């Protein structure tokens, strides 16, 4: 009888232990987003391409309150899935959020730019033709862009603003040979954030990091990537 009672208690203890371990299992840390690319063409039209990893799809929801296109992950697929979506610019910004619902890091992208579909802003930045930002599988961000002929391109970091700068400057020296297609790879900070700003300087004005020059420069488009949108919409 004692052996039977001991056996029953052992069985209940084992069940309780398994139950506790099951409840305390960590949430899966699988990264469901393989890569994405946000592009703006020469006409000012924005497009998003993104690819999920095997086993996941995304569902697109438009949040009219924040003017953000949100993409929620679903494990309904067997293979990876590639999507392409047209994006609308609203209040001079395009906003995209890849939303995690299980406590994992979400990813938010904001591109601040002029609406080139507006006739008044058609030539707001005559040095930059088109661009796109590609977030790779490794998490790095590569910015590809095309400039007008005769534009000098350089790169720097603005310590005061905490922004990576792609500096465009008109160069009057017609003897120089310029490339019109460029790209640059950027690493994100430890918290997953990254800001990349195109800084265009017209004529003989130099592109500097000092804030004294801010009014003389065109500081857009600006690409902002973060694991929080800053507005508390993470669900």
User: So where are the chain's domains?
Assistant: 33-226
What are the distances in angstroms from CA 6 to CA 11, 16, 18?
9, 15, 18
Q: How far apart are CA 82 and CA 86, in angstroms?
A: 14
CA distance 172 to 86: 37
Instruction: Go through the chain and tell me how many residues it has.
Output: 235
CA-CA distance, 201 to 205, in Å (whole number)?
6
| Gap between the Cα atoms of 179 and 148, Å rounded | 9
- Reported as a single tens digit per residue, the pLDDT across 160-200 is 999 999 999 987 565 566 779 999 999 999 898 999 999 99
Q: Which residues of the chain are modeled with pLDDT < 70?
A: 1-30, 77-78, 103, 119-125, 172-177, 202-216, 229-235
The CA distance from 98 to 39, in Å, is 17
pTM value is 0.77
**8 Å CB contact between 66 and 95:** yes
């Amino acid at each position: 009888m004692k052996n039977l009672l001991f056996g029953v208690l052992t069985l209940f203890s084992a069940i309780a232990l398994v139950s506790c371990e099951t409840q305390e299992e960590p949430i899966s840390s699988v990264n469901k987003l393989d890569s994405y690319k946000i592009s703006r063409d020469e006409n000012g039209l924005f497009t998003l391409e993104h690819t999920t990893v095997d086993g996941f799809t995304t569902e697109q929801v438009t949040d009219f309150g924040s003017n953000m296109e949100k993409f929620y992950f679903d494990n309904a697929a067997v293979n990876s899935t590639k999507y392409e979506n047209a994006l609308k610019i609203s209040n001079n910004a395009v906003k995209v959020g890849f939303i995690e619902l299980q406590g994992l890091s979400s990813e938010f992208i904001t591109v601040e730019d002029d609406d080139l579909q507006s006739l008044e802003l058609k030539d707001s930045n005559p040095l930059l033709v088109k661009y796109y930002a590609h977030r790779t599988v490794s998490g790095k961000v590569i910015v590809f862009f095309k400039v007008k002929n005769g534009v000098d391109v350089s790169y720097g970091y603005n310590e005061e603003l905490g922004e990576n700068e792609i500096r465009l400057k008109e160069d009057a020296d017609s003897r120089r040979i310029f490339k019109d297609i460029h790209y640059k790879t950027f690493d994100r900070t430890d918290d997953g954030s990254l800001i990349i700003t195109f800084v265009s300087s017209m004529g003989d004005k130099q592109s500097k990091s000092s804030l004294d020059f801010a009014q003389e420069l065109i500081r857009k488009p600006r690409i902002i990537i973060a694991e929080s949108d800053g507005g508390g919409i993470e669900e």
